[in-house]
Amino acid sequence: MMLLEARSVTKLFGCLRAVDAVDLTLAAGEVVGLIGPNGAGKSTLVNLISGLERPTSGTLVFAGHPLQGEGPAARARQGIARTFQVPQSFGTMRVRQNVAVAALFRGQPAASVPLALREADEVLEFVGLTAKADAVAETLTTPDLRRLELAKALALRPRLLLLDEVMAGLTPAEVNGLIAVVRDVGARGVGVLVIEHVLRAVMGLCSRIVVLHHGQKIADGARAEVVANPAVIQAYLGVPYGAAA
């Protein structure tokens, strides 16, 4: 059984087909890359899966159960976690408390606030944010906010993790650190969908890559195959991957 199955999912904004009849499958433990130019519908697809938007047509199936009327909170409790492209922290709370919220409200929540805070510390260590655990979230820099986004998502103990550009704006060393973190998450059996413009991260993490263009899926396959695909080169890459270097 697939962890996530999207069947002909479509989202219209007025007459704009933001997501156009997209089919997508993702297995537990699989780390899949989702790439495409700006405005291709990647973030909208993540919104549809996490429940912040409702599809105009098509169905989403999570772990064998169709996701129909469930709102985002119910989906989070079932184990669907996501990060936001523009980090959305709980600004007045401390970093540790931000992460504890997820531990307190997931499907099988931490039994008490102190336990949730202790767990938050473990997650912060995992993503390399321990030094900022006591900082008020709104004082963080953007790279740290991206780490916090990831920490909040991981504290949900997700079965499916949707990463919307968590690596943007990070230094190459920081990207390497996060690649290791995400690889580790996938190795624990979590299905991961990685939206990323940092192609090195996608190539390093994902054996399979899906490409969206104007809302449509134009490629879905093994990494080497996809980056050699002429349609992908024309729509997104510009030059064959590796050629510029």
- Helix H, strand E, coil C: the string for the chain is CCCEEEEEEEEEECCEEEEEEEEEEECCCCEEEEECCCCCCHHHHHHHHHCCCCCCEEEEEECCEECCCCCHHHHHHHCEEECCCCCCCCCCCEHHHHHHHHHHHCCCCCCCHHHHHHHHHHHHHHHCCHHHCCCEHHHCCHHHHHHHHHHHHHHCCCCEEEEECCCCCCCHHHHHHHHHHHHHHHHCCCEEEEECCCHHHHHHHCCEEEEEECCEEEEEEEHHHHHHCHHHHHHHHCCCCCCCC
Site for other proteins in 137-166 (CB under 8 A): 137, 152-153, 155-156
Pick between residue 89 and residue 229 the one whose CB is nearest to other proteins. Answer: 89
Q: Which residue in 90, 128, 143, 214 binds other proteins (CB under 8 A)?
A: 90
Residue 81 engages other proteins in binding (rule: CB under 8 A): yes
Residue 100 engages other proteins in binding (rule: CB under 8 A): yes
Pick between residue 115 and residue 233 the one whose CB is nearest to other proteins. Answer: 115
Q: Which residue in 2, 21, 93, 203 binds other proteins (CB under 8 A)?
A: 93
Q: Which residue in 7, 77, 183, 200 binds other proteins (CB under 8 A)?
A: 77
Number of residues lying near other proteins (CB under 8 A)? 42
Stretch that binds other proteins, among 10-18, 27-35, 80-88, 180-188 (CB under 8 A): 80-88
Residue 43 engages other proteins in binding (rule: CB under 8 A): no
Residue 104 engages other proteins in binding (rule: CB under 8 A): yes
Give the interface with other proteins as residue ranges (CB under 8 A): 50-52, 71-73, 75-77, 81-82, 84, 88-94, 96-98, 100-102, 104-107, 109, 113, 116-117, 130-131, 134, 136-137, 152-153, 155-156
